[in-house]
């Protein structure tokens, strides 16, 4: 029986938060993310052509055309994320034809909520269904990650794409970025909630610094491997092992490794604290994460540090830290629900007075990952 091919589809994928665990994913470590109620939505239709593809970014009022028979990355731009996904799906056997697509979204760009993963995963999800490629979610997640590696030029870990695609409503996931084993558990914060504060700054050095940090971690790893054959990644390193080789490491490389090793331990401790309702302990770990990101990994910025510092004398805030790759974006705050509106008003005024920049607060909800709006 011949079933008529799908002609048009609308799909979406999510932005994400990360409770704790920054820059651990590309070091085979642990993370604690969740998908949120911000998403990228893409509508894709077959256009009858063998190879011509037309993409419109509605938020930017920009369009791009490319030919499946001959295309390559451009200098920079959202186009690389889309073409990168197409390229990676084709590399693993996907047979595509010409299509027209338009997308829009409400994941703030440069916020640390991973608008890039939402874009990549929404296209992968839609193309897989439209052209009946038959890939499973894990294949689409990896294709989206590799799109960022090979077409965008950022050697990201897998957390963002994984959370965007695999999120579950009202749950966070503990993800092992080596084995890709994961488990969900309820986000139960009692009288507290999560509040994001977007600095609305995105410093230009973020992308190059990201790849530089990754290279520094690899440099440290090579030294550690000489000490122990059991070390395959920084995930395998304890604080004691790191101290043993400190004298043979560049101090900056040592600090980068120190962050990753400590952050992995903080993720596992935070998971235990959440499971047992120990929110004050969770808050301490969140603060410790920011301190390490600020001083050891050096991916914070003055605006993020200001927002975190302003919470430390407030008993109704249990923890605050920068979230995402760094150099801008959001802080994530664990705050007593009844103080949210007053705190937003106060911190917004102080932030504008200090930097002459409007602060954007987000009270996000935790939602399911990628899905379809129409098929």
Position 112 scores a pLDDT of: 82
C-alpha distance from residue 142 to each of 70, 86, 163, 228 (Å) = 23, 13, 12, 30
Average pLDDT over residues 70-99: 96
| Residue 262 neighbours by CB under 8 Å, 6+ apart | 239, 288, 292, 296
> Taking 70 as the threshold, does the pLDDT of residue 206 lie above it?
no
Instruction: Write the pLDDT tens digit of every residue in 34-60.
Output: 999 999 999 999 999 999 999 999 999
Active site residues: 160
For the chain, which residues make up each domain, given as ranges?
Answer: 8-186+367-374
Centroid of chain to Cα 339: 28
Residue 331: strand pairing partners: 197, 322
Instruction: Write the pLDDT tens digit of every residue in 265-303.
Output: 999 999 999 999 999 999 999 999 999 999 999 999 999
> Taking 50 as the threshold, does the pLDDT of residue 1 lie above it?
no
8-186+367-374: CATH number = 3.30.230.10
- pTM confidence score: 0.91
Instruction: Write the pLDDT tens digit of every residue in 22-40.
Output: 999 999 999 999 999 999 9
Q: How far apart are the first and last CA of the chain?
A: 20
């Amino acid at each position: 029986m011949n079933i008529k091919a799908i002609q048009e589809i609308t799909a979406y994928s999510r932005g994400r938060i990360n409770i704790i665990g920054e820059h651990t994913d590309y070091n085979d470590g642990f993370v604690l993310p969740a998908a949120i109620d911000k998403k990228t939505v893409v509508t894709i239709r077959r256009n009858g052509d063998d190879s011509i593809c037309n993409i419109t970014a509605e938020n930017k009022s920009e369009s791009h055309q490319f030919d499946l028979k001959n295309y390559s990355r451009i200098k920079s731009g959202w186009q690389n994320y889309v073409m990168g996904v197409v390229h990676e799906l084709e590399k693993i056997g996907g047979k595509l034809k010409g299509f027209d697509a338009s997308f829009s979204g409400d994941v703030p760009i440069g916020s640390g909520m991973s608008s890039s993963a939402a874009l990549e995963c929404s296209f992968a999800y839609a193309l897989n269904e439209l052209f009946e490629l038959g890939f499973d979610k894990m294949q689409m997640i990896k294709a989206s990650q590799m799109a960022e590696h090979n077409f965008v030029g950022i050697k990201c870990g897998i957390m963002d794409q994984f959370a965007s695609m695999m999120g579950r409503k009202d749950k966070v996931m503990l993800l092992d970025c080596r084995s890709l084993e994961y488990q969900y558990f309820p986000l139960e914060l009692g009288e507290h909630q999560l509040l994001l504060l977007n600095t609305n700054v995105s410093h230009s050095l973020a992308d190059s610094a990201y790849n530089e940090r990754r290279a520094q971690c690899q440099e440290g790893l090579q030294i550690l491997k000489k000490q122990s054959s059991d070390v395959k990644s920084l995930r395998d390193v304890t604080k004691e092992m790191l101290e043993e080789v400190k004298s043979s490491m560049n101090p900056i490389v040592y600090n980068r490794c120190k962050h990753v090793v400590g952050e992995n331990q903080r993720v596992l401790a935070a998971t235990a604290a959440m499971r047992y309702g120990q929110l004050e302990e969770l808050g301490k770990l969140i603060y410790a994460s920011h301190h390490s990101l600020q001083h050891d990994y050096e991916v914070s910025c003055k605006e993020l540090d200001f927002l975190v510092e302003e919470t430390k004398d407030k008993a109704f805030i249990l923890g605050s830290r920068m979230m995402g790759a760094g150099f801008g974006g959001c802080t994530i705050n664990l705050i007593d629900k009844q103080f949210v509106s007053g705190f937003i008003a106060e911190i917004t005024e102080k932030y504008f007075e200090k930097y002459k920049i409007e602060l954007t607060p987000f009270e996000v909800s935790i939602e399911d990952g990628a899905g379809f709006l129409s098929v």
